[in-house]
């Protein structure tokens, strides 16, 4: 118990041991009003997830929604009315470079289709604003690397929407693994999938998505394997199954099973799918114990158990916690437990590139350091 307390204090996440009601955020337990710097954020892409982030930000203490960027004028008008966004902080996809001259915006959260991320993040960086980008950060690692370099050249932060890196149940499992409470890690299983609906949506359009389930839900198992095991994979193998070639056209993967090997000998077995539900599950097995999470990456509440019993961490709104923590990273230099920077996004893309290559070639793909 003492080691856990020290660990959480080190992360400045000790508040996760406080009881919170479902839907509340980490900082809601603070009695003293927050008087520190506020990250002023514009959201680019006002779809369903952009809306979820906007709603979550209403209870942020360290971040505030102040602007919007959209190609749909009616959405801009609706958001202005709902969130009190001034006209001077509203832009479209053609003119948003003008944020360079707007001191009321510190950062832009890019929540658009995958294939649009590269150009948009680079433009945000050139405008001198910090960039937060949904995952995957682009459609391949080469593009991701160019985005990282552009942000470095512009001397702005580049963060990725890895909300699970802050989620209390996830943090506790990582703490247990780091503290040796699971013993030597031997195996990880990640199951990520759901039956996708509308066949006309952008996620099933390769020009916009860059792929199918792997480029949407599969990244959770790729990224989750890395932070749960605590190592970087050195090889991958993968197999694709397609039962509906009409809905899942060429270049849009329906289901991919993939395996990863790690330097210590840990093996991961994962599944990414657009045709099966009830698969939001992580399982981490060690010589002295285990951790199981189901749901493991959904919007909540996250649930889990270990060999010691149920995980009973705080229930939080993931995006509220994420944005408050990212504010602290951008404005105060705080370091997260698990990285959420652009380089982290590139690492995932390199693995995903290798998975697609393994599917195509049938070979074991060795990952370069």
Mean pLDDT value across residues 200-213: 98
Q: In angstroms, what CA-CA distances link 179 with 62, 143, 265, 304? A: 30, 36, 19, 18
Residue 366 three-state SS: strand
Mean pLDDT value across residues 169-182: 98
Domains of the chain: 17-163 (3.40.50.720), 168-314+342-366 (3.30.360.10)
pLDDT for 300 equals 85
pLDDT for 31 equals 56
Which residues is 238 bridged to in the sheet? 258
Tell me the average pLDDT of the chain: 93
> Rounded distance, CA 350 to CA 361, Å?
16
For the chain, percent of residues with pLDDT exceeding 90 = 90
Q: Is the C-alpha dihedral spanning 72, 78, 79, 80 positive or negative?
A: positive
Task: Tell me the longest C-alpha to C-alpha distance in the chain.
Answer: 58
- Name the DSSP letter for residue 251: T
Is the per-residue pLDDT at 257 higher than 90?
yes
Q: Is the C-alpha dihedral spanning 201, 206, 210, 212 positive or negative?
A: positive
> Rounded distance, CA 40 to CA 64, Å?
5
How is residue 279 written in tokens? 């698969």
220 is catalytic: yes
pLDDT band at 100, cuts 50/70/90? very high
Is the per-residue pLDDT at 229 higher than 80?
yes
Q: What does the pLDDT look like over 1-54, one tens digit per residue?
A: 444 444 444 443 333 333 333 333 444 444 578 999 999 999 999 999 999 999
pLDDT for 32 equals 74
Number of neighbouring beta carbons within 10 Å of residue 99: 24
- Got the DSSP string for 215-230? GTTHHHHHHHHHHHHT
> Rounded distance, CA 338 to CA 331, Å?
18
Query: In this predicted model, which residue has the larger pLDDT, 220 or 14?
Result: 220
> Rounded distance, CA 52 to CA 171, Å?
22
Q: What angle do CA 336, 338, 343 make, to 5 degrees?
A: 100
Q: Pick the catalytic residue: 220, 227, 274, 356?
A: 220
Q: What does the pLDDT look like over 270-302, one tens digit per residue?
A: 999 999 999 999 999 999 999 999 999 999 899
pLDDT for 33 equals 87
Is the per-residue pLDDT at 207 higher than 60?
yes
pLDDT for 1 equals 42
> Rounded distance, CA 224 to CA 174, Å?
11
Q: Which of 23-27, 121-125, 128-132, 308-312 has the lowest mean pLDDT?
A: 23-27
Residue 194 three-state SS: coil
Q: In angstroms, what CA-CA distances link 287 with 24, 177, 225? A: 36, 11, 17
Is the per-residue pLDDT at 202 higher than 60?
yes
Q: Pick the catalytic residue: 40, 61, 129, 135?
A: 135
Is the per-residue pLDDT at 362 higher than 80?
yes
For the chain, percent of residues with pLDDT exceeding 70 = 92
- Tokens 């039956």, residue located: 195
227 is catalytic: no
pLDDT for 97 equals 98
Mean pLDDT value across residues 314-320: 97
Is the per-residue pLDDT at 64 higher than 90?
yes
Q: In angstroms, what CA-CA distances link 170 with 13, 167, 265, 298? A: 12, 5, 23, 12
Mean pLDDT value across residues 238-266: 98
Mean pLDDT value across residues 332-351: 98
Q: What does the pLDDT look like over 138-162, one tens digit per residue?
A: 999 999 999 999 999 999 999 999 9
pLDDT for 369 equals 75
């Amino acid at each position: 118990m003492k080691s856990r307390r020290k660990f959480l204090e080190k992360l400045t996440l000790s508040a996760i041991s406080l009881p919170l009601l479902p839907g509340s955020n980490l900082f809601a337990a603070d009695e003293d009003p927050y008087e520190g710097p506020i990250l002023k954020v514009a959201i680019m892409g006002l779809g369903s997830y952009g809306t979820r982030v906007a709603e979550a930000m209403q209870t942020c203490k360290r971040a505030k929604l102040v602007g919007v960027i959209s190609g749909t004028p009616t959405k801009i008008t609706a958001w202005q009315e709902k969130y009190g966004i001034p006209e001077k902080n509203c832009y479209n996809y053609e003119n948003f470079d003008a944020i360079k001259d707007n001191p009321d915006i510190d950062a832009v959260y890019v929540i658009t289709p995958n294939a649009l991320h590269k150009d948009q993040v680079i433009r945000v960086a050139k405008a001198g604003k910090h960039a937060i980008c949904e995952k995957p950060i682009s459609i391949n690692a080469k593009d991701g690397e160019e985005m990282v370099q552009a942000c470095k050249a512009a001397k702005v932060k580049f963060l990725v929407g890895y909300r699970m890196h802050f989620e209390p149940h996830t943090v506790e499992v990582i703490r247990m693994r780091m503290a040796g409470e699971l013993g030597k890690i031997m195996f990880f299983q990640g199951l990520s999938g759901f039956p996708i609906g509308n066949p006309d949506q952008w996620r099933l359009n390769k020009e916009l998505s860059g792929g199918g389930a792997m480029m949407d839900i599969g990244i959770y198992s790729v990224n989750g394997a890395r932070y749960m095991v605590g190592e970087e994979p050195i090889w991958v193998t993968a197999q694709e199954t397609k039962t509906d070639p009409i809905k899942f056209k060429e270049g849009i993967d329906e289901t991919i099973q993939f395996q990863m090997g790690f330097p210590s000998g840990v093996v991961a077995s994962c599944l990414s799918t657009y045709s099966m539900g009830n698969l939001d599950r992580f399982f981490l097995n060690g010589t002295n114990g285990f951790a199981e999470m189901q749901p493991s990456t959904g919007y909540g509440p996250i649930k889990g158990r270990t060999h010691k019993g149920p995980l009973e961490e705080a229930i939080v709104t993931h995006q509220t916690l994420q944005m408050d923590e990212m504010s602290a990273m951008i404005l105060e230099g705080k370091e997260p437990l698990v990285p959420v920077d652009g380089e982290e996004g590139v690492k995932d893309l390199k693995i995903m590139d290798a998975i697609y290559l393994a599917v195509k070639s049938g070979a074991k793909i060795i990952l370069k350091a």
